[in-house]
A and B are shown apart, each in its own frame.
Chain A
């Protein structure tokens, strides 16, 4: 029993250690890296809170940013009160944000959760549009177009920390990230958390074992709103400004993307998605102006070919790797992934060239990619892109079948032999 317990607690120990040590590792100490890590920590909480709805309760929300954003606004006001003399140290501000998110989720959740499916999705969209519209009307709360800002260093200090430097804010985020992830995981193991899964699977049967599905959904909705509000509160102290963007459709879309690409079927999925998407959001936009296009493409490809997300891909391969059969995947996978990379290269050149010519002619036709100079006005560039894509596509089509077959046979072998 104790060994079992130790095994269960081990991932949490590693998680805590990673959060503490990460900014001190070589390459992660720069201001850029610490602020990236801060954003990732916030995104992890937000994406997991979203998955309390989508993955665990089967509620597809198009407006989860409402609770993130409203939590952020409440927290920002709290920072301003703190600067004006209220005793509220910065590490407690996210809790205020969480309570803000909880309040609005409790208010808007009851009519939203009457039904799941399309009705819930449509209501979430309607509420999101309504809140965005209100954000431009109620200037005293939302601050109009500029949003509202606050100075976190003016709040009372906490254990001698003033929370000016980014690294101190990082540790506030890391602490809340750990606590929130642990609490959200624990929620899945409670009676109501298990009934969320039951209501997702079959709301009618849940009724006949004594549970009102609307109440179960409502509890999940409020919990999701609470943790989204914590993420919003952290966002407020991280940037010291909150604008209407934080309640908007783009933010709601981003969190859906994170949860889905990470994988909604596993608890850790949204964590992976949040880290990966935040990294891409920050870094891709440095490389290319067309980063949103790549984003959309990636989402479509994931939905079509890996609906289990990154976590799904991992759990598809973990038994094979554990059985020590991973080496036999390399050959067939390389013959599928190699051509896929060629296809991607062709597509990237085509997109970049196209982008130069059609969308930003002011930038000129000459540009550099992978250290090679291109001129978008030259036909050979287009020909090259087209033939790379075609050849890659052809090769990939040939390689995919054997790769899937090898995976299936190894999976059977891994499960058949020696599994306890």
Chain B
């Protein structure tokens, strides 16, 4: 249990001649809530995409609980117990809300590629799906095709899919993006609840959410980490103020 949940060593990603991630070293400790902030274009989403296997790094190393997962395909990383949500809603639009969540619990509950048993037979699949459905507040919408949900409901489902499998490490990419104040508050309460006892990493623009939820904050500017530490330290950091918070306050 001494190994960090995620360790990035000298991680680099180029798109053609453009360097997006320029040598990132970062440790996410087990059980912490870690926020990654930074101005637009800093490479926050790219960093998530590298960690979860959506993109392969140009250089560097990614470890998950001490295991090297650099350039693994997303499904292998997901099977280790690392789940994520997306900044742009990424659900199964023609499947019902219930089925969206059920798809996310199948692999963790060892259903695999089974074609010799019915999907409703294992009680744990059904129960876990209903449990998550209740948590994200969509029980009444269970049979609605996900593509017909409102934006806020789709965002809740997006988080639901990420947490349904019971992954030990959860990466949320701007979970409150586009939400109004009330919706964001509900989302934060949900994130706080489901991340108890797990490791949470999130990219977030809303500073009140960040300082409210995070145990530690990493500031990413122009593909490099300029500061990483507890909220109070980040708030006091001069480089951060100049690069990011000052800009936001101005």
Q: Interface 1/0s, chain A 185-198, versus B by CB < 8 A?
A: 01101111111011
Please tell me which one of the listed residues A193, A201, A205, A215 contacts residue B119 in the complex, with CB atoms under 8 A apart.
A193
Please tell me which one of the listed residues B103, B119, B161 contacts residue A189 in the complex, with CB atoms under 8 A apart.
B119
B118 lies within 8 A of A189 (CB): yes
Across the two chains, which residue of chain B brings its CB closest to A202?
A: B92
A206 lies within 8 A of B113 (CB): no
Contacts A204-B90, A208-B74, A209-B161 given; does A187 touch B115 at CB 8 Å:
yes
A211 to B93, CA, bound (A): 17
Q: Find chain A residues with CB under 8 A from B84 CB.
A: 208
Q: Interface 1/0s, chain B 80-106, versus A by CB < 8 A?
A: 000110100011111100010011101
Interface size class of A (residues with CB under 8 A): 20 to 34
Please tell me which one of the listed residues A186, A191, A192, A210 contacts residue B75 in the complex, with CB atoms under 8 A apart.
A210
- Report if A223 contacts B (CB, 8 A): yes
Please tell me which one of the listed residues A186, A190, A207, A209 contacts residue B73 in the complex, with CB atoms under 8 A apart.
A207
B107 lies within 8 A of A211 (CB): yes
Q: Find chain A residues with CB under 8 A from B83 CB.
A: 208-209
A209 lies within 8 A of B118 (CB): no
Q: Find chain B residues with CB under 8 A from A223 CB.
A: 115
- Report if B16 contacts A (CB, 8 A): no
A200 to B99, CA, bound (A): 14
A360 to B164, CA, bound (A): 67
- Report if A212 contacts B (CB, 8 A): yes
Across the two chains, which residue of chain B brings its CB closest to A213?
A: B75
A193 lies within 8 A of B92 (CB): no
User: Chain B nearest CB: distance from A52 CB in Å?
Assistant: 11
- Report if B114 contacts A (CB, 8 A): yes
B114 lies within 8 A of A191 (CB): yes
Q: Find chain A residues with CB under 8 A from B223 CB.
A: none
Across the two chains, which residue of chain B brings its CB closest to A211?
A: B75
- Report if A219 contacts B (CB, 8 A): yes
Q: Find chain B residues with CB under 8 A from A219 CB.
A: 113, 115
Q: Find chain A residues with CB under 8 A from B73 CB.
A: 207, 212
B94 lies within 8 A of A201 (CB): yes
Q: Find chain A residues with CB under 8 A from B118 CB.
A: 186, 189-190
7 nearest A-B residue pairs (beta carbon)? A210-B107, A191-B111, A201-B92, A207-B74, A210-B78, A209-B104, A192-B113
Other than the known A197-B95, A201-B92, A208-B52, what 18 A-B pairs have Cβ atoms closer than 8 Å?
A189-B118, A191-B115, A194-B103, A197-B94, A198-B99, A200-B94, A205-B92, A206-B75, A208-B74, A208-B75, A208-B78, A208-B84, A209-B78, A209-B106, A209-B165, A210-B107, A211-B75, A215-B113
7 pairs from A and B in contact (CB 8 Å cutoff): A190-B114, A190-B115, A206-B103, A209-B106, A209-B107, A211-B75, A219-B113
